[in-house]
């Protein structure tokens, strides 16, 4: 489709905000021993619900990128270099930030070399994952454009089973044996990427009946409730934050995030252009890259785990989001410097 899909803009903005919710809620969750049960339950609820955001980001990317069937070598390398450049700059930036502001000591040379494989800030893992997908993109495009509908169904079915169900099975029965299946299971975020393309294409071709929307509403409620209850149960048994069922490869997150994604794109005609939403959507990657700066500034100066999760997770999320948005907006207006936004 040549016309911009505003439903994806709204979905990207929501996912961007929810990523910040995850990182704020994690602060409370990891402080299990020092917060009361009410606040811990609140943190887990926010954390569990917000985690649909990362799979949704991958599905949006798949929906937008795989549809292009023509391979452009120049654009291919330009896209990868742009992300690699941003990754290097942000890894160096966060090394210096960690050292001078947070007091984290490390050998610069070792850290710089490791930064090609290990991020200097935890959230940068997403950069490594998306760069890997972009490197493989021409081959993924060829595969997807030559799949029949039955083969697409088979891919999604195998992905649900070998990624989603097998993950839960292994965790539930404490099985450590893992023989990942290439393409389907070995890089599970690629599955989200491909599924985003398949479902978006089918919605665009009117191949998904809206009669299923009641199930799409029900599925996230059921799956996220199970996730929350299991997380609370396992945390209570281990007397520490247990994030086993908060993994993106869990069947509960696959079903939840796919359902939310489908609901948005199935009703894309309901979404209209918004200058603010478009601006946030365009800067979402930059917001993601820079938001830990403001999160760390808050956590270094305020004992947030002593405050109510139900109030202050939304409050701090909003503060961090606004600071990150305006910072990314300013950077985007500065020639050359705007290239670090990816």
- SS3 of 174-235: CCCCCCCCCCCCCCHHHHHHHHHHHHHHHHHCCCCCHHHHHHHHHHHHHHHHHHHHHHHHHH
Convert the pLDDT of each residue in 256-303 to its tens digit.
Answer: 999 999 999 999 989 999 999 999 999 999 999 999 999 999 999 999
Where residue 26 falls among pLDDT bands split at 50, 70, 90? very high
Asked if residue 1 belongs to a domain, the reply is: no
Domain that holds residue 90: 6-341
* Residue from 49, 57, 61, 63 nearest 253 by CA: 49
Convert the pLDDT of each residue in 109-147 to its tens digit.
Answer: 566 666 667 788 999 999 999 999 999 999 999 999 999
- SS3 of 129-178: HHHHHHHHHHHHHHHHHCCCHHHHHHHHHHHHHHHHHHHHHHHHCCCCCC
> In the chain, how many domains are there?
1
Convert the pLDDT of each residue in 209-248 to its tens digit.
Answer: 877 788 899 999 999 999 999 999 999 999 999 999 999 9
* Residue from 58, 64, 99 nearest 189 by CA: 58
| pLDDT value at 106 more than 70 | no
| pLDDT value at 177 more than 80 | no
Return the residue matching tokens 């990427």.
193
Asked if residue 295 belongs to a domain, the reply is: yes
Sign of the torsion angle spanned by Cα atoms 217, 218, 224, 229: positive
Predicted local distance difference test score (pLDDT) of residue 94: 92
Where residue 332 falls among pLDDT bands split at 50, 70, 90? very high
Over residues 81-102, mean pLDDT: 90
Where residue 103 falls among pLDDT bands split at 50, 70, 90? confident
Convert the pLDDT of each residue in 27-56 to its tens digit.
Answer: 999 999 899 999 999 999 999 999 999 999
* Residue from 221, 233, 223 nearest 40 by CA: 233
Report the percent of the chain where pLDDT is more than 70. Answer: 96
* Residue from 335, 326, 291 nearest 121 by CA: 291
């Amino acid at each position: 489709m040549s016309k911009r899909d505003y439903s994806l803009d709204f979905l990207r903005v929501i996912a961007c905000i929810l990523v910040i919710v995850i990182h704020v809620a994690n602060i409370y969750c990891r402080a299990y021993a020092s917060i009361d049960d009410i606040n811990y339950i609140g943190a887990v609820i926010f954390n569990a619900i917000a985690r649909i955001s990362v799979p949704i980001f991958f599905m949006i990317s798949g929906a937008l990128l795989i549809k292009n069937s023509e391979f452009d070598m120049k654009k291919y390398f330009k896209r990868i270099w742009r992300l690699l450049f941003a990754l290097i700059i942000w890894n160096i930036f966060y090394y210096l930030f960690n050292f001078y502001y947070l007091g984290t000591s490390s050998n610069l040379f070792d850290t710089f070399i490791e930064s090609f494989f290990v991020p200097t800030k935890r959230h940068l893992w997403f950069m490594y994952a998306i760069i890997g997908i972009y490197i493989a993109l021409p081959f993924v495009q060829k595969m997807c454009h030559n799949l029949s509908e039955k083969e697409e169904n088979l891919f999604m079915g195998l992905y649900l089973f070998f990624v989603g169900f097998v993950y839960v099975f292994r965790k539930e029965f404490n099985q450590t044996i893992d023989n990942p299946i290439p393409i389907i299971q070995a890089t599970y975020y690629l599955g989200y990427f491909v599924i985003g393309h398949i479902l978006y294409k089918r919605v665009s071709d009117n191949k998904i009946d809206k009669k299923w929307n009641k199930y799409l509403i029900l599925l996230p409620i059921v799956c996220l409730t199970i996730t929350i209850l299991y997380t609370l149960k396992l945390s209570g048994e281990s007397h520490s934050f247990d994030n086993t069922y908060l993994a993106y490869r869990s069947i509960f997150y696959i079903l939840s995030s796919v359902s939310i994604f489908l609901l948005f794109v199935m009703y894309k005609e309901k979404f209209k252009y918004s200058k603010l939403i478009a601006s946030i959507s365009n800067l979402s990657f930059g917001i993601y890259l820079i938001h830990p700066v403001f999160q760390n500034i808050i956590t270094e100066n305020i004992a947030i785990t002593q405050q109510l999760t139900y109030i202050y997770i939304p409050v701090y999320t909003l503060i961090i989001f606004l600071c990150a948005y305006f910072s990314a907006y300013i950077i985007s207006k500065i020639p050359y410097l705007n290239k670090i936004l990816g």
